[in-house]
A and B are shown apart, each in its own frame.
Chain A
Amino acid sequence: MTSVETKRTGGKPRTEVRAGPGLLRRNATRVILAVLILAVIACVVVTPAFLTPANIRAVVQNAALMGIVAVTMTPMAMSGNFISLGTQQSMVLASMSFLALLSQGVPAFVAVVVILAGLTLLGVLQGVIVALGLNSVITTLAFGVIVVGVIQKVNSGGADVTAGDHPVGWGAATVLGIPLQVVVLIVVTVLVTGGMTGTTMGRRAMLTGANAAAAKVSGIPTNRVTVGVFALASAGMGLAGILGAAQFGISGPGDFSEITFGAASAILIGGTSIAGGMGSALRSAIGAVVIGGISRLMTLNSFTPGTRGVIEGALVIGVVVAVETARLRRTRG
């Protein structure tokens, strides 16, 4: 298994193609695992109740939505398209319209299909615009602003939406004792990880991020790659929005306010380069769980929102610096 990496350190650009047989041979993975293990040890020492099955379930369940968004957005970041600045808006669109459809008596299955299709189309539209030459930051930003405007226009007054007489029965469902959201996260992670490493399209996305010019010259349909990664990310937001709506049964324009930078943090903690060219969907999922775990731990120990923010932000910076330092040492040594 090879991975192509481009990075800029101290201004010296270097490109490296390296081979490593397994997941554990990669430094980034090792650093993330070390952080994860340290975090778990710290949790258990500080709060013995942390390792109970009920608590672990709560952590993973809370992290699942952010994880789904982070995992499906990882190919976008890896292909050099940054992160979507319209994440929250797309998720709110999905969750509010899901509940609105249900309250009109539309069967849940139909509503899920309609919304996933609609969100995918929204992603395709953004991907096409980016492929035409517009910057992805501008495009996702503009779509976010437009989407939130449309939501508020349709739902005048900014009131919360519920499913009315047709409440969702499966929002808190479990499969073999595992919450539905977590099952979806696992399935999505397996699919995206497999797709990125095991399919032509996935390898092409990674190569496009490593060096877009080289990818284009070597005949990779970079435009199709762009449209594909945007569609996937947008569908992921739709899925997370639907699951959120099903879980809470109520949705408003202010929901998921921390998801945009939360998902970005998860991707970063997972060691994916936001500039493109390298990354792993599995590690993004782990990143989301780490954030969820630490956040839960701080809640259990009644930290104030301020202290929690300082620790979470410092964790993002610390882990990214640690991952990059480890990578540098490996390339230099």
Chain B
Amino acid sequence: MTMKFLVKYKDYVYRVALIVGWWGVMAAIAPAFRGEASLVGSLEFLPLLGLIALALTVPLIAGEFDLSVGSMAALAGVVAVLTSPLGLAPAVLAGTLAGGAIGALQGYGIARLPISSVAFTIGSLIVLRGVTYVLANNQPVPVEDLTLTDPLFDTYGVFTISTIATIVVYVLVGLFLAFTRFGRELYAVGGGRKEALAMGIPLRRTLPLAFMFSGGCAGLAGALATMKGGTADPSSYANMLIVGIAATLIGGVGLTGGRGTALHAFLGSLLLCVLSAGMNFAGQTPDTTGIVTGVVLLLVIAVSVASRAIRDRRSLAAMRQAGLELVRGKARAAH
């Protein structure tokens, strides 16, 4: 039973083992990286990275790229700071809604125009960055009332409002993807575009939805991080695209569409968070963390490519065996 469980969910088990293993190694090396401090340190970066990874995952499941997530996060950050006189929650909500609305428009454009999502979002990552600069009047915008953002620093055990919000969003999006009709349609258009279209699942319904989720998650990520920082810099979060893609891929979300869950993205982000927090506590500089991240990315992907190759070879051998037996059986019957 347990064995069956482990085999069925080996994708997740493998990544959880990596996370726990890394945590164990770092805790052994760095005495500071133990207990509550290590968890608080690891979770600090999770809202930004985790939500960006989720923003990349949903379109990837539908077989599309959204390269505009970094610009979207910066834009939502500026929107949140500009609407901050209304209060903290309305400001974060405004950033999220702005991201979701722009994302839905992007998805609609990609579905209706003869342009790939890669080309479209390379264009829109430049456009949205421009809009961000225009909104911010080409300079960093500070939050006027600094006491406003105090609740973001309150802790509940090892959690903050940002990490709780991130986990809630992950649960909701994960349930949506796994159990609703619209969520399953995203897998359908990502896994077999032609078949899904033939079945009557239109792109102009699925793609706006996928990109709305993407824009909304990126927007929430940017709004939360910016409000916590207290200043919206229009040039920020440009490198989050690269880190986010790394987390998504380490988590095991497929680049070709139809493969991956919210849990994959979550575990990938968590692994990167524990990795960088551990290195940080061990006194390593960010550049060492960068090198290790790159190597881990290549290794994790190499393992999954190798395991798929082995599985393919095994199933091929099994098929050959079955074919051979069939032929032998027929030969015997002919005798």
Measuring CB to CB, which residues of chain A are less than 8 angstroms from any residue of chain B?
Answer: 8-11, 13, 82, 85, 129, 132-135, 137-139, 141-146, 148-153, 156, 257, 261, 264-265, 268, 273-275, 304-317, 320-321, 324-325, 327-328
Q: Contact string, B128-149, partner A, CB cutoff 8 A, digits 1/0?
A: 1111111110100000000000
**Extra inter-chain contacts (5) besides given A150-B287, A261-B125, A304-B138, CB under 8 Å:** A85-B242, A138-B298, A146-B290, A274-B116, A311-B130
Partner of B298 from A9, A139, A150, A265 at Cβ < 8 Å:
A139
Flag if B133 contacts A265 (CB, 8 Å).
Answer: no
Within 8 A of A (CB), among B211-256: 234, 238, 242, 245-246, 249, 255
Known: A153-B291, A265-B123, A312-B130. A142 touches B246 (CB 8 A): yes
Top 9 A-B pairs ranked by shortest CB distance? Answer: A309-B130, A306-B133, A313-B126, A313-B127, A149-B290, A149-B291, A146-B294, A152-B287, A306-B134
How far does the Cβ of B287 sit from chain A's closest Cβ, in whole Å?
4
Flag if B294 contacts A305 (CB, 8 Å).
Answer: no
Instruction: Answer whether residue B317 sits at the interface, using C-beta atoms and an 8 A cutoff.
Output: no
Instruction: Answer whether residue B3 sits at the interface, using C-beta atoms and an 8 A cutoff.
Output: no
Known: A11-B194, A145-B294, A146-B295. A306 touches B126 (CB 8 A): no
Docked pose: A118 CA to B242 CA in angstroms = 24
Known: A129-B298, A137-B245, A313-B126. A148 touches B119 (CB 8 A): no
A-B pairs with beta carbons under 8 Å apart, 29 shown: A8-B116, A8-B193, A9-B114, A132-B305, A134-B298, A141-B249, A143-B294, A145-B290, A145-B294, A145-B297, A152-B287, A152-B290, A153-B285, A153-B288, A156-B285, A261-B67, A268-B119, A273-B116, A274-B116, A304-B133, A305-B130, A307-B130, A309-B127, A312-B126, A314-B123, A320-B120, A321-B114, A321-B115, A327-B114
Residues of chain B with a CB closer than 8 A to A328's CB? 114
Nearest residue (CB) in B for A253 is B287
Flag if A320 contacts B123 (CB, 8 Å).
Answer: yes
Residues of chain B with a CB closer than 8 A to A135's CB? 255, 301
Docked pose: A310 CA to B127 CA in angstroms = 4
Instruction: Answer whether residue B293 sits at the interface, using C-beta atoms and an 8 A cutoff.
Output: yes
Flag if A306 contacts B131 (CB, 8 Å).
Answer: yes
Instruction: Answer whether residue B203 sits at the interface, using C-beta atoms and an 8 A cutoff.
Output: yes
Docked pose: A324 CA to B197 CA in angstroms = 21
Partner of A268 from B122, B134, B298 at Cβ < 8 Å:
B122
Flag if A313 contacts B124 (CB, 8 Å).
Answer: yes
Instruction: Answer whether residue B86 sits at the interface, using C-beta atoms and an 8 A cutoff.
Output: no
Partner of B302 from A11, A13, A134, A268 at Cβ < 8 Å:
A134
Residues of chain B with a CB closer than 8 A to A257's CB? 238
Flag if B133 contacts A317 (CB, 8 Å).
Answer: no
Partner of A11 from B197, B285, B297 at Cβ < 8 Å:
B197
Instruction: Answer whether residue B309 sits at the interface, using C-beta atoms and an 8 A cutoff.
Output: yes
Instruction: Answer whether residue B334 sits at the interface, using C-beta atoms and an 8 A cutoff.
Output: no
Residues of chain B with a CB closer than 8 A to A153's CB? 285, 287-288, 291
Flag if A305 contacts B301 (CB, 8 Å).
Answer: no
Instruction: Answer whether residue B113 sits at the interface, using C-beta atoms and an 8 A cutoff.
Output: yes
Instruction: Answer whether residue B118 sits at the interface, using C-beta atoms and an 8 A cutoff.
Output: yes
Known: A11-B194, A129-B298, A142-B298. A265 touches B122 (CB 8 A): yes
Residues of chain A with a CB closer than 8 A to B234's CB? 306
Known: A309-B133, A328-B114. A265 touches B126 (CB 8 A): yes
How far does the Cβ of B285 sit from chain A's closest Cβ, in whole Å?
8
How far does the Cβ of B286 sit from chain A's closest Cβ, in whole Å?
8
Flag if B126 contacts A309 (CB, 8 Å).
Answer: yes
Residues of chain A with a CB closer than 8 A to B295's CB? 142, 146
Residues of chain A with a CB closer than 8 A to B67's CB? 261
Residues of chain B with a CB closer than 8 A to A324's CB? 113-115
Partner of A133 from B127, B133, B246, B309 at Cβ < 8 Å:
B309
How far does the Cβ of A322 sit from chain B's closest Cβ, in whole Å?
10
Docked pose: A153 CA to B294 CA in angstroms = 14
Docked pose: A321 CA to B123 CA in angstroms = 11
Flag if A325 contacts B114 (CB, 8 Å).
Answer: yes
Nearest residue (CB) in A for B238 is A257
Flag if A309 contacts B246 (CB, 8 Å).
Answer: no
Flag if B134 contacts A146 (CB, 8 Å).
Answer: no
Residues of chain B with a CB closer than 8 A to A307's CB? 130, 134
Residues of chain A with a CB closer than 8 A to B290's CB? 145-146, 148-149, 152
Flag if A314 contacts B246 (CB, 8 Å).
Answer: no
Docked pose: A130 CA to B126 CA in angstroms = 28
Known: A152-B290, A321-B113. A138 touches B130 (CB 8 A): no
Docked pose: A309 CA to B124 CA in angstroms = 9
Flag if B288 contacts A149 (CB, 8 Å).
Answer: yes
Docked pose: A206 CA to B288 CA in angstroms = 38
Interface centre among A129, A139, A306 (most CB of B within 10 A): A306
Partner of A261 from B122, B194, B309 at Cβ < 8 Å:
B122
Docked pose: A306 CA to B122 CA in angstroms = 16
Docked pose: A292 CA to B277 CA in angstroms = 41
How far does the Cβ of B259 sit from chain A's closest Cβ, in whole Å?
12
Within 8 A of A (CB), among B83-136: 109, 113-116, 118-120, 122-136
Known: A152-B290, A317-B115. A138 touches B297 (CB 8 A): yes
Interface centre among B298, B302, B305 (most CB of A within 10 A): B298
Docked pose: A327 CA to B249 CA in angstroms = 34
Flag if A133 contacts B305 (CB, 8 Å).
Answer: yes
Residues of chain A with a CB closer than 8 A to B127's CB? 309-310, 312-314, 317
Flag if B130 contacts A313 (CB, 8 Å).
Answer: yes
Flag if B242 contacts A141 (CB, 8 Å).
Answer: yes
Flag if A317 contacts B305 (CB, 8 Å).
Answer: no
Flag if A317 contacts B129 (CB, 8 Å).
Answer: no
Docked pose: A305 CA to B246 CA in angstroms = 29
Docked pose: A171 CA to B135 CA in angstroms = 39
Residues of chain B with a CB closer than 8 A to A144's CB? 242, 294
Docked pose: A146 CA to B193 CA in angstroms = 35
Docked pose: A3 CA to B332 CA in angstroms = 54
Flag if A142 contacts B297 (CB, 8 Å).
Answer: yes
Docked pose: A8 CA to B135 CA in angstroms = 36
Flag if A264 contacts B122 (CB, 8 Å).
Answer: yes
